[in-house]
Each structure stands twice: as structure tokens, then as C-alpha cells.
Structure 1
Amino acid sequence: MGSRLLNIQRRAAEHGRLRTGYTQGNRPVRSATWVVTSHSEEHVRAAAELWGGEVEQWTPLNSNIAQWRVITKASSIEALITPGDPLNQYNEMWSAGGCQRRCDGETELLSRQSCLCARQFGEDWHTQPKGRVCSATSRFNVMLPDLSGMGMWRAETHSFYAASEWGGMVDMVLAGTDGKGFVPVTLRIEPRQVVRDGKTKKFPVVVVELRGVTPRQALAGPMSTAMALDPSGTRAVAALEAPRPDYLALAAGALHVDDVGDVYRDANAAGHLNDELVAALSKRAEELKAEAAKKASPGGSTEQVPDEDGAYPAEVVDEPSSTSWPAVAQAGSSN
């Protein structure tokens, strides 16, 4: 096994961001559905195919580097929590000049002072208007298994409520898996509201939920990668299903009306019959019936020729099937 640098943290490349809002001009707009942004047009177009929306070029505020984005039609998307601790949380205050405060809830790390917001406004500091105090900033790194690439996608929220819920959810999962293995989750944008000072405030909160597994399974230890990718097992079942036979090709190669009848019965047993297939099989039976009638006519050849062993061909008649098929085929088989 190869060696690694021990003083460098290993992490997957970041492919893009999962956002709950977007900008129109210089105005921020909250979104009820996921907004996917990336420097890669390929990733964003793949997201649009999965979750809808129109792909467009977009330049973030305070930046002159264009990216790609799609405002999807999906409020829920499937994701994977990857090994390690995927959650990063700070109380932060940003301006055009960059990050002005970054606090762990007790100590403001840039100035090394005690929490400035709590010292000024008390324990309910988070109810103050945005910009006056820090925002509870949570960054959640996940993998999107249905998009190309093995990199990470960062979901970010400044919701005080999501901060506590994300932390509780991730802590429980890490307690069960010890940060090993993948865990299937759903990221869902949920509308909420609170009444504060007689005013109703509505806002979106990103909820992280287990997907396809029970708490018992998630907390029992690291699960297999195969289970995390397909917790319900439906994709594995679909992969094992036999491909649908080409009934039209089988009928085209039939030499007798009875052979077409066999194709009909097989299709019926498999639940593949439809009006178009019945019509095609009936047409083929008519063609074989006409060919048989032509051979039986005075101008046709009815002489049987023995094979190399001197045996003449014999017709084998099966017991009639309980599943009937079009009358034209039944009539043809009596010739």
C-alpha cells in the first residue's frame, strides 16, 4: 500500500453548493426548492436532468467569476453522509471585506475574546436583525450519488434552528458509525414559521433525515456501501430482472401459426401484452396462414421430402393452452 503525507488532511474535491436561495440582480431571494451551483456546467446540467429547472450562467455577489446554476423543482434530494465528520458550524459575521467574526459559541476566534454577540445582547442574541449579530452558519458536506464525479457538495444554511437539528442528527449518526462508512439521507427544505413580538415570520429550514434505513440500522455500526447506495434494494432487484424479449423478432422468425401462438402465450404470461403487440402477432399469423394455404393449393408444392436419415417430418400437436389468443391464429393452426 502506498504512503501518504501525514500532515495533510485528506478530503474530496468540492464540486459545488446546495443552496436555499438565489440572487436576482443584487436582491437575495429565498427558494422553496434546491438551488444547485457549480463551476462545472456538466454537474449542473446533470442536476437539472434529475430535479428539473433551467441551467443558466450566474455570477455570485462580490465576485467576477461566472458559475453555473439551476433553480431546481425539487424540495428533497438524496444524498450520502460520507466517512468522518461532515458538519462544520460557527457563528459568523461577514462583510464585503470578508469574515469579520467567527465564533464557536463561547469564544470569538479571530479576536480571541468571549462571544461578542452574547456579551452585547444576551442569550437571545440570535433574535436580533441580521447584520447586527453573527449568523449561525452550518456547512454540511455530502455526496450526491446520482451526479457524476466523486467529490463533495456543500449544503450551507444560516438558520439558527437548522444548526441545532443538524448537529443533533449528525452526532447520533456518528455515535453509531464512529464516522466510518456512508449513511443515506434526504435533504429536505421545510417551510416553517414563528411568531415573535406579535409578528409571524416565515422561513425555510433544511431538514436532514435518514433515507431507507431505520434508526436501528443507522446506529448499529457502519453499513455496507452497497446498502448505503441502495437501502431499499429496488435497484439491485431491477438489475437482476431479465430483459424483455423481442416478441416481434420471435414472431418474424416463426415458421408455423402455432409458433406465433407460443409467442403470444409467453408474452401474456409475462404481462407484456398490449394492443399493438396483439395486432402484430395476429398479422404474422395471417401471413403464415396464407403461406400454408398457398402451399396446399394445386399450384403449390405439398410433397414432403425425407431428411438425410430417411425420416419424414412429423407434426407434433401440443395440448391446447388454457390461455386463448386471437381467433385468426386459432383458425390458422387447423391448416
Structure 2
Amino acid sequence: MGSRLLNIQRRAAEHGRLRTGYTQGNRPMRSANWVVTSHSEEHVSKAAELWGGKPEQWTPLGSTISQWRVITEASSIEALITPGDPLNQYNEMWSKGGCQRRCDGQTELLSRQPCLCERQFGEDWHAQPKGRVCSTTSRMNVMLPDLSGMGMWRAETHSFYAAQEWGGMVDLVLAGTNGQGFVPVNLRIEPRQRVANGETKKFPVVVVELRGVTPRQALAGPMPTAMALNPGAQAAAPALEAGRPDYLALAEGALTSDDVGDVYRQANAAGHLNDQLVADLKAIADRKKAQEAGPDEDGAYEAEVVETVS
């Protein structure tokens, strides 16, 4: 294996962004479906094939560099959480001059002062109008396994409520995998509403949820890459659960039908019996019983002792 520079951080290239809104002229618009943007026309065209929509050239506000985007028809897309910690969260305030505030919830990191928004507006500061206080900003790097390229895509949300759920979900996954291996997820835009002070406010929240695997599989340690890439097929395959004996292999290796009965009793005691396993074990036992009734390899039948009455 080759060598790496030890004084720089290694990371995959960023291919583009996953957005929950777009601009129409100079006006920002929320989107119920994902918006995929990239400098690469190929990536955006492939996203349009997968999730619908029409690729178009687009220039972000405040930029002179043209990109590509597609407003898809998909509210949910498949992604992979990658090794390491993929999530960064800050409370941020931006202007044309750049980032004016970046706070970790307790300390504003640029000025090294206690949280400015909470000091001014109290613990419900996030309910203030946008622009008056920081936006709760969550950025998560994911891989989109069905797009070309091995780089990352950055999903970003400014939802106070999504920030709570993203942090909780990612921390649970990291607790099980220790940041090793890939984890298959869906990124889903979910419409929500909140009633406060007699007003109903509707807003979208990006939900991160496991895809094709159970919490047991996700929390049992790093999963094989093949399972993460194709979790549905793994779930449908007759793969053994961790620590569960292969009862069919044990039954096939048994010498007699009585030995198959022992395998049955072992599975029953462990609570692993189901209708399919019972049927398979019975078929193996019947086959072995038929073999027991036949001649041995020398053509002789097993002797049967019959008591005679004199």
C-alpha cells in the first residue's frame, strides 16, 4: 500500500448538495421534493433519471459561477451514512460579508462570548423571525450509491426540529458502529405543522431513517459493505441471525432420523422454530428414515429382531 501525508485530513470530494428549496428569480422557495445541485451535469442528469425532474443550468444567489440543478419528483432518496462522524451542527448567522456568527449552542465561536441569541431573546430564541437570530444549521455528508463518482453529497437543513432528530439518529448509529462501515438510510422530506399562540405553522423536516435493516443490525457493529449497499436483498436472503445455529445444516449432517429429532428439540428449546423450519426438518427426517429402511452399501438390509413364540 502507498503512503499518505500525515499532516492533512483526508476526505472525499464533494460532488454537490441536496437541498429542500430553490430560488425562483431572487425569491427563495420551499420544496416538498429534493433539489439536487452540482457543478457536474452528469451527476444532475443521472439524478433526474432516478428521481424525475428536468436538469437545468442555475446560478446561486450571490454567485457568478453557473451550476446544474434538478428539482426532482422524489421526497425520499436512498443514501449511505459513511464512516466517521458525518454530521456538523451550528447556529449560524450569515450576511453578504460571510458568516457573522457560529455558535455551538453555548458559545459563539467567532467572538468567544456566551450564546448571543439566547442572551437577547431567551431559550425560545429560535422562534424569532429569520435574520434576527441565528439559523440552526445541520450539514450531513452522505454517499448516494446510485450516482456516479465516489464523493460526498452534502444534505443541509436549517430546521430547529430536524437538528434534534438528526443528532439523535446519527449518535445512535455511531454508538453501534463506532463510526466504522456504511449504514443505509433514507433521507425523507416530511411535512409537519406546529400550533403556537393560536397560529398554525407548516414546515418541512428532513427525516433520516434506517433503510432495509433493523435496529438490531445497525447497532450490532459495523455491517458488511455488501449489506449496506443492497440491504433489501440481504433481508430477503436466508442469512442466519448472529449466533443462531444453521439447523438445516445440522439436520443434513445427522446420521439418523432420530438425530434430526434432536436438532428439532434444540431449535425448539432456543425459541427458533417456525413453520418453515418445522417443514424443512420433517422433510429431512423423512428422507433419512427412508434411507434407513433401504439396503446398506453392500446390499444388505438392517436385521430386524423378531421374537418367536414356542
Which TM-score applies when normalising by structure 1? 0.70
CA separation in 2, counterparts of 1:69 and 1:234? 33
Map residues 242-281 of structure 1 onto 2, 5 A cutoff: none
Aligned-pair CA distance for 1:235: 11
Structure 1 residue matching 2:232: 3-state secondary structure: coil
Q: Which residue identity is paired with 1:60? A: P
Ranges in structure 2 where 5+ consecutive residues have no aligned partner:
238-310
| CA displacement, residues 27-63 of structure 1 (integer Å, 9 cap, x when unaligned) | 0000000000000000000000000001100000110
1:53 alignment partner in structure 2? 53
Q: Which residue identity is paired with 2:131? A: G
CA separation in 2, counterparts of 1:185 and 1:179? 15
1:324 alignment partner in structure 2? none
Larger Rg: 1
1:154 alignment partner in structure 2? 154
Contact 2:56 2:70 in 1 (8 A): yes
CA separation in 2, counterparts of 1:78 and 1:129? 33
Ranges in structure 1 where 5+ consecutive residues have no aligned partner:
238-335
1:91 alignment partner in structure 2? 91
Aligned-pair CA distance for 1:9: 1.0
Aligned-pair CA distance for 1:3: 1.9
CA separation in 2, counterparts of 1:26 and 1:235? 47
Contact 2:213 2:235 in 1 (8 A): no
1:24 alignment partner in structure 2? 24
CA separation in 2, counterparts of 1:41 and 1:234? 33
Q: Which residue identity is paired with 1:87? A: L
Structure 2 residue matching 1:173: 3-state secondary structure: helix
| CA displacement, residues 255-283 of structure 1 (integer Å, 9 cap, x when unaligned) | xxxxxxxxxxxxxxxxxxxxxxxxxxxxx
Q: Which residue identity is paired with 1:121? A: F
1:163 alignment partner in structure 2? 163
Q: Which runs of 4+ in 1 moved over 2 A?
A: 234-237
Aligned-pair CA distance for 1:10: 1.0
CA separation in 1, counterparts of 2:200 and 2:44? 35
Structure 2 residue matching 1:126: 3-state secondary structure: helix
Structure 2 residue matching 1:233: 3-state secondary structure: helix
CA separation in 1, counterparts of 2:124 and 2:47? 39
Which TM-score applies when normalising by structure 2? 0.75
Q: Which residue identity is paired with 2:37? A: T
2:140 alignment partner in structure 1? 140
Contact 2:22 2:31 in 1 (8 A): yes
Aligned-pair CA distance for 1:234: 7.0
1:70 alignment partner in structure 2? 70
| Match status 1:173 vs 2:178 | no
CA separation in 2, counterparts of 1:23 and 1:225? 37
Q: Structure 2 vs 1, CA of residues 194 and 227 (structure 1 numbering), >3 Å: closer, same or farther? A: same
| CA displacement, residues 201-256 of structure 1 (integer Å, 9 cap, x when unaligned) | 1010000000000000000000000000001117998xxxxxxxxxxxxxxxxxxx
2:4 alignment partner in structure 1? 4
1:333 alignment partner in structure 2? none
- RMSD over aligned CA atoms reads 1.3
Structure 1 residue matching 2:100: 3-state secondary structure: strand
Q: Which residue identity is paired with 1:76? A: S
Identity of aligned residues (%): 86
1:100 alignment partner in structure 2? 100
1:119 alignment partner in structure 2? 119
Aligned positions, number: 237
Aligned-pair CA distance for 1:18: 0.2
| CA displacement, residues 161-193 of structure 1 (integer Å, 9 cap, x when unaligned) | 000100000000000000000000000000001
1:192 alignment partner in structure 2? 192
